[in-house]
Structure 1
């Protein structure tokens, strides 16, 4: 009967309960003093935890982060204008729930992408859907979507993502079609979903980088309204870490 019960649980896709029941059967002395409902509640708790874990793994996989990063591994030893309290506050995700934006700027190698991926990872753990894109690849995907007729479907999917992370903002010149695409994205998300932008350019240069005064006003108004801003400073983290590794080898 135990084998049949385990088989039925797995057929019903209750793998967490099946694993927990297997543990109870293998350790009867641990659970024999518990009432039926107490043991059932333990099984339900394990099933809930199992489903939560699978959901988080799925969200992280679907986000397609450039880097595997977590807020626990952020380096604060080298001065970059970044504090643990600021990161801890952002990692709580209240700004995502409020559909606010986050703008991360700083020189090349200052850790902008790592920080963004770490905050995105934290958002996944809080059950938010996240998607990471380099801006050039996002615009290329939308151009291809226009060609195959899936453009409006792609825009609808982007509009539903709780946190859209866009890297390398302002790195390449934008065409008229690109500016229109960005306007569509920002308009869909404004007041409904959060966006995280990463750029080497200071925010006061973003207007010029867009290349069209009218659309620049419209895009940046939606992007910068009530946005949180982090401006990382200091020497390249890649250079610092590379030097530390070289010193370790020499020692």
Structure 2
């Protein structure tokens, strides 16, 4: 009967309950004093926990984050205008729930991408669907989708992603078709889902980087009006750490 029950639980995709039941059977002394409903509650709790863990793992895998980053490992010692309290508040994810945006700017090497990936990882852990793209790669994916007829389907998918992270904003000139693509994306997402932009350019230079006055107005209006901002400063962390390594290990 026990073997049949375990098999049936797994057939019903209740693997967490099956694992928990096996633990109860192996540790009879631990659970024998509990009522039926108490033991059943423990089985249900374990099933829920395992499903949440699998969901987090799936979201993290689908996010395609460039870096394996975590909020706990963010460096606050390096002087770059990054406040622990501000990051902690953003990590709670309330801004994502409200469909607000986040703009992270600063010089090369200031840790923008790591910070964004850490926030993305935290969002996945809280159950938010997340995707990371470099802007040039996103534009390439959209161009390919136009060629194979899946463009509108892809736009629909992008609109539903709860946190879309776009890196290297303003790094390369935009083609006219790409401006239109960005307009479609921002219009679909406006007020509904959150976009995190990473850029070396300060926000007051984004208008010129888009290259078309009318579309720049429309895109930036949707992107900036409800956005949180993080302006990182200071010397490149890569350069600083490189100097430390040389000092610690002289040739």
How high is the TM-score relative to the length of structure 2? 0.98
Name the counterpart of 2:189.
189
- Measured in 2, the distance between the counterparts of 1:245 and 1:64 equals 30
- Measured in 1, the distance between the counterparts of 2:241 and 2:7 equals 51
Residue 106 of structure 1, CA deviation: 0.3
1:220-235 equivalences in 2 (<5 Å):
220-235=220-235
- Measured in 1, the distance between the counterparts of 2:186 and 2:145 equals 18
Name the counterpart of 1:147.
147
Name the counterpart of 1:156.
156
Name the counterpart of 1:78.
78
1:12-161 equivalences in 2 (<5 Å):
12-161=12-161
Indicate the SS of the match to 1:132.
strand
Residue 90 of structure 1, CA deviation: 0.2
How high is the TM-score relative to the length of structure 1? 0.98
- Measured in 2, the distance between the counterparts of 1:11 and 1:99 equals 39
- Measured in 1, the distance between the counterparts of 2:245 and 2:24 equals 48
- RMSD across aligned C-alpha pairs, in angstroms? 1.1
- Measured in 1, the distance between the counterparts of 2:34 and 2:250 equals 60
- Measured in 1, the distance between the counterparts of 2:80 and 2:62 equals 30
Residue 250 of structure 1, CA deviation: 4.4
Indicate the SS of the match to 2:131.
strand
- Measured in 1, the distance between the counterparts of 2:244 and 2:69 equals 20
Deviations along 1:120-177, one digit per CA (max 9) or x if unpaired, are 1111111100000000000000001111100000100000000100000000000100
Residue 242 of structure 1, CA deviation: 2.8
Indicate the SS of the match to 2:230.
strand
Name the counterpart of 1:219.
219
Indicate the SS of the match to 1:173.
coil
Deviations along 1:70-129, one digit per CA (max 9) or x if unpaired, are 100000011110011000000011111111100000000100000000001111111100
Residues 44/108 of structure 1: CA separation in 2 closer, same or farther (3 Å cut): same
Indicate the SS of the match to 1:109.
coil
- Measured in 2, the distance between the counterparts of 1:237 and 1:60 equals 26
Indicate the SS of the match to 2:140.
helix
- Measured in 2, the distance between the counterparts of 1:220 and 1:98 equals 19
- Structure 2: give runs of 5+ residues left out of the alignment: none
- Measured in 1, the distance between the counterparts of 2:111 and 2:235 equals 10
Name the counterpart of 1:238.
238
Residue 248 of structure 1, CA deviation: 4.1
- Measured in 2, the distance between the counterparts of 1:104 and 1:82 equals 11
